[in-house]
Amino acid sequence: MQASQVEIRKVNKFYGPFQALKNVDLTIPPGKVTCLIGPSGSGKSTLLRCINFLEEYDAGEVRIDGQLIGYDAPGRKMSGRKLREMRRSIGMVFQQFNLWPHMTALENVAEGLIRVRGLSKRDAQARAEDALRKVGLGDKMANHPSRLSGGQQQRVAIARAIAMEPRLMLFDEPTSALDPELVGEVLTVMKTLAAEGMTMVVVTHEMGFAAHVADQVAFMDAGELIAAGDPASILHQPQDARIQSFLRTYHERNSF
Amino acid sequence: MDFGILQQYGPMLLRGFGNTVLCWALGTIFAMALGLLIALVQRYAARWVRWIIQAYIEIIRGTPFLVQLFVLYYGGPLIGLRLDAVPAGLLGLTIYGSPYFAEIFRSGFRAVPVGQIEAARAIGMAELTIVRRILLPLGLVSALPALVNFSIILTKETVILSIITVPELMYQVQRMSTETFRYLEANLVLALFFWALVETISRLGRRLERRITRHLLTERT
Amino acid sequence: MFSIPVFLQAFEPLIWAARYTLLISGLGIALGLVIGTLICAARLSPYAALRGFAAVWVSFLRGVPLLVQLLVFYYTLPVIGIDVPAIVAAVVTVGICASAYISEIWRGAIAALPKGQAEAAAAIGMAPHHIWGRVILPQAVTMSLPALINELILLVKASSLVSVVGILEITRASQAQAATTFRPLEVYIAAACIYLAINLCLSALGRYLEHRTAI
């Protein structure tokens, strides 16, 4: 599989007078897992959503494999068609799963293959079945989302994304909406993807995942990228006081 | 538009408008009061009482307002209910509006989190006090937008009263147009008048809602 | 007092008149659906002129009482030289009035859909017409069914107003009956019963549809 790389350079985003992202510089290396951590409101989700232009950044550049996303040139927005073309190779998994409730799990996964990739219904369903089996839901294909647990729904969402054969996967707090006992099954699927060499950017509060699976951990606070590096240096020997304070609160709340 | 006509019929139209406002205001208040009573009784009464109330609600909501008025005004005398047009209209509005208001209040009560009622019971508060101090205030706030909305709908229903000869605005406009033969203009102006009236009240209503709920809502979503 | 024989005898002519009631409300809602969909599309369009027109359309038709609309339309037609039977005028007025409410029903349903639904579709690169046709509209239409059945019930009741322009639907027929029998109480209560029967059937249909389309 060919894995994408992402270059984020001096990205700024404003919501009116409020600056959500301040001059963020980050490289997402190909085939590696990058985790974005930080307190709420730090801009991590916003930055993630800028990568596939679900949020529009106002200044700076986001390049995927060298190609600028969202803009043809600074100030000139990309056409809808070109944007959709770029999004075909990017997969996204949302905190709220966002499965389409009026379709079965199989139909959810096949829909993109039919409408976007133009596959025939039969081919799409065959590929969808493979994707669902890969995330361990081969026996739940005919279920509607309302008959699936949160963990199962999120795994269907992951299947939906990987069925499109993306070169880059974005995860926006994929386990935050799940009951604790269901988190494991989703993390397992994500670890499998990582082992296969997918470029992954994951916004998460699961520090264990960041520590053991991530190749790069980036800490954000109040719209700024404070530090980025390998998990050991960020999580176990943080230099910046903000990271120390964040981790201290985390340990207080989570150890017993 | 000949403005001489306005001058000539002005007082008559004004009287009509006054009657519209009177019927609407009284009708809405009575209907709301009756609706609230129904909603409270529904919440606490025995099953057979609830059944009767539900039947009442279904019947009133399932039949046209005009037919209800005919039953009251033209049919009433046959069972000894001899009402003039205006009282009949008021009674009609009250009866017509009550089930809608009852449903609105019911939804409002349902929207009060059960936990808050339970907390009151847990400290031994009497049921009547719970209704007075918790259910009603919180339920009313929840219900406010729908209450305002339906009150505005009732302003439009008042024109139907003209058919049973209640001398409200539409009735006077029809009288004026039969005398001047300017049917189209008269009704067009009536339409524009109602449009302006409803649009204005709607906006005021929304502003009022925002003002009241801002102070009364303690939960920030 | 209340005379049962008169009450029962009143039903036959009124049920015969009910065909006009059903015709007017049925055609009215059909027309309202077609126009309402167009108006809703205009409300959501990127062109400010279309949005403005649709907003005025909805505001006017919801602000003016239907009775007044009926009379305006009824008196306008001779002036502009159109000669249509009263029933056509009635259906068109009712349909146009309904379109304003239906447009808002559609709008409400579309707005109530969580944003994430469309986002997930956009994230895999789905084109707008697919996002609308496969994700948004199917869910919006299903969500709107209870409100649409409700609107139909309102139209059945509103059809009683077309009696003022002389159409022999249930209400007008009952007025004629009351005049000949001198027993308005029984006749009007019979009329009410017929309306109630129609609307109870519609409510039951609504509940059935809600049950069937529950996701």
Chains touching A by CB (3 or more pairs below 8 Å): C
**Residue range of the domain that includes C48:** 21-167
Please indicate, yes or no, if residue C182 is contained in any of the structural domains: no
pLDDT of amino acid C215: 59
Domain layout of chain B by residue ranges: 10-220
Determine, for residues C215 and A92 on separate chains, whether the beta-carbon distance falls below 8 Å: no
Q: Which residues of chain A have pLDDT under 50?
A: none
The DSSP H or E segment spanning C199 is: helix C184-212
Reading the block at residue B215, the tokens are 């102070």
Please indicate, yes or no, if residue A187 is contained in any of the structural domains: no
The answer to whether residues A134 and A199 belong to one domain is no
**Rounded distance between C-alpha atoms, residue A249 and residue A238, angstroms:** 14
State pLDDT tens for residues C115-168: 999 999 999 999 999 999 999 999 999 999 989 999 999 999 999 999 999 899
Q: Which residue of B has its CA nearest to C157?
A: B64
What's the total number of domains in chain A? 2
Determine, for residues B159 and C163 on separate chains, whether the beta-carbon distance falls below 8 Å: no
Judged by 3 or more CB pairs under 8 A, whether C touches B is yes
pLDDT of amino acid B220: 42
Q: For residue C102, how far is the Cα from the chain centroid?
A: 8
CATH of the domain at A69: 3.40.50.300
Q: Which residue of B has its CA nearest to C76?
A: B184
Q: What is the amino acid identity at position A162?
A: I
Q: What is the amino acid identity at position B96?
A: Y
- B10-220 folds as MetI-like fold (1.10.3720)
The answer to whether residues A107 and A57 belong to one domain is no
Q: Which residue is it, tokens 């009609």?
A: B92
Contact B132, B57 (CB under 8 A): no
CB-based contact, A176 to chain C, within 8 Å:
no
Give which of C15, C55, C11, C29 is closest to C152, Cα–Cα: C29
Determine, for residues C196 and B63 on separate chains, whether the beta-carbon distance falls below 8 Å: yes
Please indicate, yes or no, if residue C107 is contained in any of the structural domains: yes
Residues 6+ apart with CB under 8 A from A130: A163
pLDDT of amino acid B215: 64
Handedness of CA C107, C110, C112, C116 (dihedral sign): negative
Q: Which residue of A has its CA nearest to C122?
A: A84
**Rounded distance between C-alpha atoms, residue C55 and residue B153, angstroms:** 18
Beta bridge partners of A225: A220
Please indicate, yes or no, if residue A226 is contained in any of the structural domains: yes
State pLDDT tens for residues C63-117: 999 999 999 988 888 777 777 888 899 999 999 999 999 999 999 999 999 999 9
Cα distance from C133 to chain A (closest Cα, Å)? 11
The answer to whether residues A108 and A69 belong to one domain is no
Reading the block at residue C9, the tokens are 């005898």
Handedness of CA B179, B20, B193, C89 (dihedral sign): negative
Q: What is the amino acid identity at position C160?
A: S
Residues 6+ apart with CB under 8 A from B116: B134, B138
pLDDT of amino acid B219: 45
With a cut of 90, say whether residue C212 has pLDDT above it.
Answer: no
Please indicate, yes or no, if residue C213 is contained in any of the structural domains: no
What's the total number of domains in chain C? 1
**Rounded distance between C-alpha atoms, residue A37 and residue A43, angstroms:** 10
Contact A167, A3 (CB under 8 A): yes
* List of chain C residues whose C-beta atoms are within 8 Å of the C-beta of residue A99: 120
Q: Which residue of B has its CA nearest to C1?
A: B79
Mean pLDDT value across chain A: 93
Q: Which residue of A has its CA nearest to C125?
A: A84
CATH of the domain at C123: 1.10.3720.10
pTM for this prediction:
0.82
The answer to whether residues A122 and A229 belong to one domain is no
Please indicate, yes or no, if residue C95 is contained in any of the structural domains: yes
- Give the DSSP letter of residue A52: T
Task: Indicate the residue of C124, C139, C215 with minimum beta-carbon distance to A87.
Answer: C124
Give which of A144, A201, C80 is closest to B188, Cα–Cα: C80
Q: What angle do CA A236, A240, A244 make, to 5 degrees?
A: 50
Please indicate, yes or no, if residue A131 is contained in any of the structural domains: yes
The answer to whether residues A230 and A160 belong to one domain is no
pLDDT band at C196 (very low <50, low <70, confident <90, very high): very high
The answer to whether residues A77 and A6 belong to one domain is yes
Please indicate, yes or no, if residue A246 is contained in any of the structural domains: yes
Determine, for residues B65 and C71 on separate chains, whether the beta-carbon distance falls below 8 Å: no
Determine, for residues C123 and A92 on separate chains, whether the beta-carbon distance falls below 8 Å: yes
The answer to whether residues A119 and A234 belong to one domain is no
The answer to whether residues A38 and A155 belong to one domain is no
The answer to whether residues A109 and A53 belong to one domain is no
Cα distance from C16 to chain B (closest Cα, Å)? 17
Cα distance from B132 to chain C (closest Cα, Å)? 33
Q: Which residues of chain B have pLDDT under 50?
A: 219-221
Please indicate, yes or no, if residue A185 is contained in any of the structural domains: no
Give which of C108, C71, C74 is closest to C88, Cα–Cα: C74
Contact C39, C57 (CB under 8 A): yes
Please indicate, yes or no, if residue A183 is contained in any of the structural domains: no
3-class state of residue A25 by DSSP: strand
The answer to whether residues A1 and A82 belong to one domain is yes
State pLDDT tens for residues B59-118: 999 999 999 999 999 999 988 889 999 999 999 999 999 999 999 999 999 988 888 888
Cα distance from B212 to chain C (closest Cα, Å)? 24
Please indicate, yes or no, if residue A188 is contained in any of the structural domains: no
The answer to whether residues A141 and A210 belong to one domain is no
**Rounded distance between C-alpha atoms, residue A169 and residue A172, angstroms:** 10
**Residue range of the domain that includes A151:** 97-165
Report the percent of chain C where pLDDT is more than 90.
78
Cα distance from A126 to chain C (closest Cα, Å)? 19
Reading the block at residue A190, the tokens are 């994500």
The answer to whether residues A19 and A58 belong to one domain is yes
pLDDT of amino acid B4: 67
Say what the alpha-carbon torsion angle A206, A208, A214, A217 is, to the nearest 10 degrees.
70
Q: Measure Cα distances from A184 to A169, A174, A179, A209, A210 in Å.
A: 19, 11, 10, 10, 14
* CB half-sphere exposure, C93, CA atoms < 13 A: 26
E strand segments, chain A = 6-15, 18-28, 33-37, 59-64, 67-68, 71-73, 76-77, 90-93, 168-172, 199-203, 216-221, 224-229
